[in-house]
Amino acid sequence: MAVDGPLAPIAITLGEPAGIGPEITLKAWHRRVFHDLPLFYLIGDPGLLRGVAKKMSSPPPIKEIAEPAEAADVFDTALPILPIALAGRVKPGRPNTRHATAVMAAIEQAVSHARAGAAAAVVTNPIQKSVLHKAGFKHPGHTEYLAELCAAKRSPVMLLSCPGLKAVPVTIHLPLQEAVAALTTDLIVERALTTAAALERDFGLSPPRLAVAGLNPHAGEDGELGSAERDIILPAVRRIAAEGIDVAGPLPADSMFHAEARRAYDAAICMYHDQALIPIKTIAFEFGINVTLGLPIVRTSPDHGTALDLAGRNEADPASLISAIGYAGLIARRRRRFG
């Protein structure tokens, strides 16, 4: 059943304060009309954002808000900021563990707002995981942390999307040797079924078509170059097909990402992190986004890192964040409309 009325604002987290997150958020607000972006607000330090804004040729105005609902009264004339104070001065390109508490608090607040319905979605700016780990952060990355905050019943699924390709890594933030050891038929099936449901619900792709990559060169070459395809992946493909899903595989990963091959499927199910991210970032590095599937909330993010080398130089490209905000709004509207 359709739900009338405006969409709640989208919560954007600060991310690594010494990275490009503050700059690209300001630039995204500055280009909000051109890209027809939905209403959003930032959870972060107002002083930091004002300092970053001063370095821009046309400094975007900033206004503090006390709650997400106030963003609607501010958005047309200033970037709404829900304040979280950082523990001291930020040096561009120089992360500091003292800021880790505020970085994590911003994520927690955004998730809380989304779960309560005060925010339509969460868009996370990139974090510097190595710095957070030194401060006691125990999760491999954003995805796993969000799953815990949301009390997700299933492991979250990372879907990477850019114009022309959607890809899902079955194993996520694991060293390659551990990723291969962690690969199971059950895990592939779980990731694929979650992906198929999201393609239909969140992206309107019905019926969804999946392509499952092999693990070894040439998809194992009939067992000559590895047995994972025969013993693990092919049984998964058969179980996915038994659920009534259009699925192909296991396919050689070296030949399934060129333009003609991509026309045959809606999402590629990849066996490990880089198998999914390399083609996405090669095809459209500037526009790639990350969508977390399997959560009770909508979450997207830019598909790039903190870019510490660009911080403080006013040279960062906000295209990926702009795409992430736009997609967050589209998915939130679809979920509200169709349930």
Q: What is the pLDDT along the chain (339 residues), one digit of tens a residue?
A: 445 578 999 999 999 999 999 999 999 999 999 999 999 999 999 999 999 999 998 889 999 999 999 999 999 999 999 999 999 899 999 999 999 999 999 999 999 999 999 999 999 999 998 888 888 888 877 888 898 999 888 888 999 999 999 999 999 888 999 999 999 999 999 999 999 999 999 999 999 999 999 999 998 888 888 899 999 999 999 999 999 999 999 999 999 999 999 999 999 999 999 999 999 999 988 888 999 998 999 999 998 889 999 999 999 999 999 999 999 999 999 998 876
Q: Are residues 75 and 144 in the same domain?
A: yes
Q: Are residues 171 and 122 in the same domain?
A: no
User: Distance between CA 292 and CA 209 in Å, rounded?
Assistant: 19
Q: Are residues 83 and 98 in the same domain?
A: yes
Q: Are residues 148 and 170 in the same domain?
A: no
Cα 262–Cα 295–Cα 132 angle in degrees, nearest 5? 95
Q: Are residues 138 and 164 in the same domain?
A: no
Cα–Cα distances (Å) from 183 to 177, 186, 233, 334, in that order, read: 10, 9, 9, 32
Q: Are residues 4 and 93 in the same domain?
A: yes
Q: Are residues 168 and 269 in the same domain?
A: yes
- At 52, which CATH number? 3.40.718.10
The three-state DSSP-derived secondary structure of the chain is CCCCCCCCCEEEECCCCCCCHHHHHHHHHHCCCCCCCCCEEEEECHHHHHHHHHCCCCCCCEEECCCHHHHHHHCCCCEEEEECCCCCCCECCECCHHHHHHHHHHHHHHHHHHHHCCCCEEEECCCCHHHHHHCCCCCCCHHHHHHHHCCCCCCCEEEEEECCEEEEECCCCCCHHHHHHHCCHHHHHHHHHHHHHHHHHHHCCCCCEEEEECCCHHHHCCCCCCCHHHHHHHHHHHHHHHCCCEEEEEECHHHCCCHHHHCCCCEEEECCHHHHHHHHHHHHCCCCEEEEECCCCCEEEECCCCCCCCCCCCCCCCHHHHHHHHHHHHHHHHHHHHC
Cα 205–Cα 151–Cα 156 angle in degrees, nearest 5? 40
Can you give the residue range of the structural domain that contains 265?
158-292
Residue 82 dihedral angles phi and psi, to the nearest 5°: -90, 115
User: Distance between CA 35 and CA 222 in Å, rounded?
Assistant: 48
| pLDDT given at position 139 | 82
Could you give the number of structural domains in the chain?
2
User: Distance between CA 132 and CA 128 in Å, rounded?
Assistant: 7
pTM over 0.95: no
Q: Are residues 181 and 211 in the same domain?
A: yes
Q: Are residues 183 and 112 in the same domain?
A: no
CB 152 within 8 A of CB 42: no
Q: Are residues 16 and 35 in the same domain?
A: yes
CB 143 within 8 A of CB 292: yes
| pLDDT given at position 40 | 98
Q: Are residues 95 and 121 in the same domain?
A: yes
User: Assign residue 21 a region: left if phi > 0, alpha if psi is -120 to 50, beta otherwise?
Assistant: alpha
Q: Are residues 318 and 194 in the same domain?
A: no
CB 166 within 8 A of CB 134: no
| pLDDT given at position 153 | 80
| pLDDT given at position 257 | 97
